[in-house]
Chain A
Amino acid sequence: MVRTRWRFKFLLEAVIALPLVLPPTVLGFYLLIALGPHGPLGRLMESLGGRPLAFTFTGLVIGSVIYSMPFVIQPLQNAFATVGRRPLEVAATLRASPLDRFFTIAVPLARHGFLTAVVLGFAHTVGEFGVVLMIGGNIPGETQVLSIAIYDHVEGLEYVHAHWLSGGLLLASFLMLMVVYAIDRRFRSFQT
């Protein structure tokens, strides 16, 4: 995507970035329709002998992939953009194939972007609420995730449980970001 000259690149970029501005419940609602028994994906699953994906763990993962897409794609895109054209062109003069250039030049040079993408994608998925509630339906033991469990505890006035879960998530998120910044700093000092 970084190096493409495709005319409609802006369209693809807008689709990928859409979950950043779209309310999670809106995305969850459309996914629920699409994955339900009357939706295109639900019908496809039924025709293949399966059951509709709404209110299942698989549906939850599909929703999360779409919702967290910009948080993984954009850091990767930025990292590949910073690699620049020159190293790839030099490799091409040495007869490296496009695949070789990608895996031996672009990917290693963009490795800090992979780390950021992994951490941001993981942390964002852990914190999802609206989409997972709409698609998963908060079924304990099957589609109930931590963020919804916290909401349930608060609703039931079980503040001690909510405190423990929220504190755990706060600490985990802080640690993840700390690791990202520490590695990023080390990477930058290594580059200069």
Chain B
Amino acid sequence: MILSESDFTALAITLKMASLTTLILLLLGTPLAGGWCAPGGVSSFYWKR
């Protein structure tokens, strides 16, 4: 066998880590980058002004 069992375990840990990280970053990053919850967005306040 070219790859050992520990290599496959490392691969599984890497994929699990990368998937979780990407998911968390998307959930955090979407409102943060989009400015949805940030003040000064296209909010009702903006229209009143």
Contact = CB atoms under 8 A, between A and B. Distances in A.
A85 B42 CA distance: 8
A132 B11 CA distance: 14
Given A5-B39, A144-B13, A164-B3, A121 B30 contact: no
Contacts of A29: none
Nearest to A139: B13
A180 interface: no
Interface of B: 2-4, 6-7, 9-11, 13-22, 24-26, 28-30, 32-36, 38-44, 47
SS of A interface (majority): helix
Contact of A145 (B2, B17, B25, B30): B17
A122 B29 contact: no
B13 A102 contact: no
Given A80-B35, A101-B42, A125-B18, A165 B7 contact: yes
B34 A107 contact: yes
A146 interface: yes
SS of B interface (majority): helix
Contact of A65 (B16, B25, B43): B25
B34 A60 contact: no
Interface in A67-96: 68-69, 72-74, 76-77, 79-80, 85, 88-89, 92
A74 B16 CA distance: 23
Contact of A3 (B29, B30, B38): B38
A142 B16 CA distance: 11
A4 B38 contact: yes
Contacts of B21: 61, 64-65, 68, 121-122, 125
A1 interface: yes
Nearest to A123: B18
A58 to B, nearest CB: 9
